[in-house]
Amino acid sequence: MSKALENGIAVLEHVSSKRACTITEIAAALGINKSTVSRIIQTFIRKDMIERSRVSGMYSIGPAILQMSSRYYKVRNLAGQVKSAMEAVCRQVEESVHLCALSNDGAVVVEQVESASRLVVNARIGNREPLHASSVGKCLLAYAEENERQAMLANIRYERYTANTILSQEKLLEELESIRAKGYSIDDNELSNDIRCVAVPVFDSRGRCVYSLGVSGANSHMTTEKIHFIVEKLQMAVRPLMETI
């Protein structure tokens, strides 16, 4: 095994064993110089395998690790409960359901249940959704703790995806206030001209929003009436989860 690969694995293992740590701590623990650790960390960040807190500047394990192991789920005691809830919603609304978490200023898909419908919208595990243009991203942003939200807002690049994409912080702040008032978020053709999405927050036992649970569908499916039906089913599904997270 090459030395570079060994160092990379060592850094990832060390970060995964800690709640959060700094480059200095990693370098000292592993006997690797800080510049090497920094380069390794940046590679893992680009792949969402490590994430950096915008508030503390410390590093922790990222949700993309889900693609290779069940660690991310097991430490949160969510595997069975969340998947079961997602499968129930999928059956009820006949659309794909996805669970997202914040990572490096994006909403990363950490689990998905695909609909059996012929006309279906799927998101791959590990995909990143923009915070300003997706229902799952806006939901996570709306319910983030204030200091974390401000840090993320400062780093948003308002890329245009469609004519409906929010392109300013002023408009986004108005949208986040509306989301908190309603209890759910909608992507109304803001990321794609052909797809509408809706998402609700998933809170832990301390009242922190740790995930967003969303449903995506083609425009022809996602009527106003159906969106209201989906919101009802999503909110019913996430309510019992708060006791287990």
pLDDT tens digits, 163-222: 999 999 999 999 999 999 999 999 999 999 999 999 999 998 888 899 999 999 889 889
Q: Is residue 51 part of a domain?
A: yes
57 with 78, same domain: the answer is: no
Confidence category of residue 116, pLDDT binned at 50, 70, 90: confident
Last residue of one domain, picked from the residues 24, 40, 61? 61
Looking at residue 78, what is its pLDDT? 59
Looking at residue 121, what is its pLDDT? 59
147 with 217, same domain: the answer is: yes
Looking at residue 103, what is its pLDDT? 84
Q: Is residue 180 part of a domain?
A: yes
Q: Which of residues 112 and 161 earns the better pLDDT score?
A: 161
Looking at residue 50, what is its pLDDT? 93
Last residue of one domain, picked from the residues 61, 89, 108? 61
77 with 42, same domain: the answer is: no
Q: Is residue 173 part of a domain?
A: yes
Using a pLDDT cut of 90, give the percent of the chain over it. Answer: 63
52 with 169, same domain: the answer is: no
Write the CATH number for 220: 3.30.450.40
Q: Is residue 66 part of a domain?
A: no
97 with 210, same domain: the answer is: yes
Q: Which domain holds residue 51?
A: 3-61
173 with 103, same domain: the answer is: yes
Q: pLDDT (tens digit, 9 = 90+) per residue, 127-156?
A: 889 999 999 999 999 999 999 999 999 999
Confidence category of residue 159, pLDDT binned at 50, 70, 90: very high
38 with 100, same domain: the answer is: no
The mean per-residue pLDDT over the stretch 99-122 comes to 80
127 with 41, same domain: the answer is: no
Does 1 have pLDDT greater than 80? no
Confidence category of residue 120, pLDDT binned at 50, 70, 90: low
HEC profile of the chain: CCHHHHHHHHHHHHHHCCCCECHHHHHHHHCCCHHHHHHHHHHHHHCCCEEECCCCCCEEECHHHHHCCCHHHHCCCCHHHHHHHHHHHHHHHCCEEEEEEEECCEEEEEEEECCCCCCCCCCCCCCEECCCCCHHHHHHHHCCCHHHHHHHHCCCCCCCCCCCCCCCHHHHHHHHHHHHHHCCEEEECCCCCCEEEEEEEEECCCCCEEEEEEEEEECCCCCHHHHHHHHHHHHHHHHHHHHCC
Q: Is residue 99 part of a domain?
A: yes
25 with 82, same domain: the answer is: no
The mean per-residue pLDDT over the stretch 60-77 comes to 63
83 with 39, same domain: the answer is: no
Q: pLDDT (tens digit, 9 = 90+) per residue, 14-37?
A: 998 888 999 999 999 999 999 999
Q: pLDDT (tens digit, 9 = 90+) per residue, 90-106?
A: 999 999 999 999 887 88
Looking at residue 54, what is its pLDDT? 84
Query: Structural domain tally of the chain?
Result: 2
Looking at residue 167, what is its pLDDT? 97
Write the CATH number for 28: 1.10.10.10
Last residue of one domain, picked from the residues 61, 88, 109? 61
Rounded mean pLDDT of the chain?
88
